[in-house]
Chain A
Amino acid sequence: MRTSRLALVVAAVVAAALVAFPFVFTGPFPLHVMIVTFMFATLAVAWNIMGGYAGMFSFGQAAFFGIGAYTSSYLFVTHGVSPWLGLVAGGLASALVAAAIGYPCSNLRGHYFAIASIAFAEIVRTHFNNWKLVGAAEGLTIPMSKGGFLQFQFHHGKAPYYFIALAFLLASLALSWWVARSRMGYYFRAIKESHELAMVLGISFVRYRLAAIMISAFISAAAGTLYAQYILYLDPESVLVLSISVQVVLIAMLGGAGSVFGPAIGAAILVPLSELTRVSLGHKGTGVDMMIYGALITLISVYQPRGVWGLLTGRIGPRAPPAPVAARPVAVQEGSK
């Protein structure tokens, strides 16, 4: 009870700070850092649903991010479709692609899944890089329109982007919270444990895997549309690259994969950190900032794999009853231990 009151207080303080932020720090740079933070937090929350909850560790999240960004941008540039509708279209396109790739991959576990996701994302990137319809390597430029909410473009200050990005994050967190507490979340944890467990429980292993991937893809695509409308330019190098996917995983893990808020916390730490080190160290060109980053990741994996959330709460995952103990898998390729 005490922890829960504390949690509420913390939540209230954080909420107030977030709302007040753009009125205190009005310069574009601090707002930019926060917007990018919210965006990566959203991506990490999305990843968490398929990775942290359902055990599918994807290193290809950028593919969904990019498909979302490209879909809404293409529709706007070529057919004048409002980016908000484009966002939905992008989400659906992404979810469809996710299902298409998720189905054949539904039997892959652990490392095999990770590598398959990398392969998939690289195929997507190569394709977009050569696809004339969406500008191939030159990418798409979204023309500056008169601005405003309907156009999803704002030219006088970044505060609108800030609040929209924050709203996206809150929506994803809410969705993540709901999933975690629902029966679907319970099943996700079951399939994370093992295929056999799913059978024992009488659930369709494949169907829930697909659900997790599709939800994750939809949210990632929405973040992609946000990026496109914010930067107004995209090319395969900026939205479909492996480094974005890796960053998302690292953020989720640092914060605490499998928990609701962990990914957001991870983003809140890593994104400002990388922006600040770029500003202070980057111009020297030595790569020291990234060295520290790499060392940090290694240390976290070794000493505190539950991430910051695990550190703070001593446990991971919601307070639902623990999943039944899984029968020890016999096949060698099943997970660790």
Chain B
Amino acid sequence: MSEQLVQQVVNGLLIGCVYSLIAIGLTLIWGVMNIVNFAHGDFLMLAMFVSFWLYTLVGLDPLLSIPFCALLLFVLGLLIYRFAVSKVMRGPMLAQLVVTFGVSIFLANTAVMLWTPDYRLIDRTLLSGTWQFGTVQVSVAKLVSSVGSVVVSGALLLFLRRTRTGKAILATEMNRDSALLMGVNTDRVNALSFAIGSGLVGVAGAFLSMYYYIYPQVGGLFGTISFAIVALGGFGSITGAFIAGILVGLVQTLGGYFFDPAYKYAIVFLLYLLTVWIRPQGLLGW
């Protein structure tokens, strides 16, 4: 029945927006430094935990902990860049691929050690309940998260296109050598990009913590999907990652609904492979 179809499309869009936010941070890092941050999912996990602990210890609603999550993850990104990533930039490709895996394993298990593998949930948020739009029911928390994700993504684009630092980042993304020639401090740009990318996933984590369960390995599936989204959207393209995120959310939901929920992620990955074969640089990459 068509009302269920509309409901599914809406749900696909909702999860897609959150995917987009996660992917945008990742693609920024990739575009600027040519590094895939395989620990991105674990950054998301940390942000969710930060939100959880702020809620449990101080009673802060996840919506209000967004700035804290963003800031803490920004700082974490800077630290990881300084102490691990920057040092492999001159190293072999394999080291660049593997270093963030090492960080990923380390972070996930530090979370286990600090907080046990138990599942946590934030149970009472400011935004609870569902709204009804005609025949479609939407969870308020999810709606706010998705709209919020879009807003933040838009803010990032504005930052990149309108501010000086932002333009420097874009320039480095397009052509590193030219940017250097133009006097851009590429090392600072790298650090900043890594930090901003991490901050963005921090925001996503705060949003997710409003309705998703939290545990040390939660980064796994989100991370894997975000890699596919970023590659699908295209190397370094923010808009590409955004569109790919929405697309994946829709494919996952509609594919699961019409075809078989057991295969819904396989369909996503298949879509990724098909796109990349036909157009190796992704949808909007260059």
* Residues of A in contact with B (beta carbons under 8 Å apart): 51-52, 55, 57, 104-105, 107-108, 110-112, 114-116, 118-120, 122-123, 126-127, 129-130, 242, 246, 249-250, 253, 257, 285-288, 290-291, 293-303, 305-306, 332-333, 335-337
Contacts and interface: CB of A to CB of B under 8 A. Distances in A.
A108 B235 CA distance: 12
B112 A122 contact: no
Contact of A337 (B90, B107, B263): B90
A51 B98 CA distance: 13
Interface stretch (B48-56, B60-68, B275-283): B275-283
A287 B112 contact: yes
Which 4 pairs show the lowest CB-CB distances between chains A and B? A294-B106, A297-B102, A294-B105, A298-B102
A257 B96 CA distance: 13
5 contacts: A110-B97, A115-B228, A290-B105, A297-B105, A301-B88
Contacts of A123: 266, 269-270, 273
Given A111-B34, A250-B98, A300-B102, 20 more contacts: A57-B97, A104-B277, A105-B276, A110-B97, A111-B36, A114-B36, A122-B224, A122-B265, A253-B98, A287-B112, A291-B106, A294-B106, A297-B106, A298-B106, A305-B88, A332-B235, A333-B281, A335-B93, A336-B89, A336-B92
B91 interface: yes
Contact of A297 (B101, B273, B280): B101
B109 interface: yes
Where chain B touches its partner, the secondary structure class is helix
Nearest to B221: A122
B175 interface: yes
B101 A250 contact: yes
A245 to B, nearest CB: 11
B12 to A, nearest CB: 19
B14 interface: no
B30 interface: yes
Contact of B224 (A51, A118, A129): A118
A294 B96 contact: no
Given A111-B34, A114-B36, A336-B89, A301 B266 contact: no
Q: Tell which of B88, B104, B109 has the most Cβ of chain A within 10 Å.
A: B109
Contacts of A120: 269, 273
Contacts of B161: none
Interface of B: 30, 34, 36, 84, 87-99, 101-110, 112-113, 116-117, 174-176, 216, 224, 227-228, 231, 235-236, 260, 262-263, 265-266, 269-270, 272-273, 276-277, 280-281, 285-286
Nearest to B83: A302
A279 to B, nearest CB: 17
Contacts, number: 166
Contact of B265 (A116, A126, A250): A126
A196 to B, nearest CB: 16
A290 B93 CA distance: 24
Nearest to A301: B99
A116 B228 CA distance: 8
A333 B260 CA distance: 35
A332 B105 contact: no
B266 A122 contact: yes
A108 B265 contact: no
* Listed residue (A123, A286, A335) with the most chain B CB atoms within 10 angstroms of its CB: A123
A291 B101 contact: no
A227 to B, nearest CB: 23
B276 A298 contact: no
Contacts of B89: 336
B277 A332 contact: no
A253 B269 CA distance: 26
A58 to B, nearest CB: 11
A291 B113 contact: yes
A306 B12 CA distance: 44
A111 B262 contact: no
A52 to B, nearest CB: 8
Contact of A291 (B109, B265, B281): B109
A313 B175 CA distance: 37
B26 to A, nearest CB: 11
Contacts of A332: 34, 174-176, 235-236, 286
B115 to A, nearest CB: 10
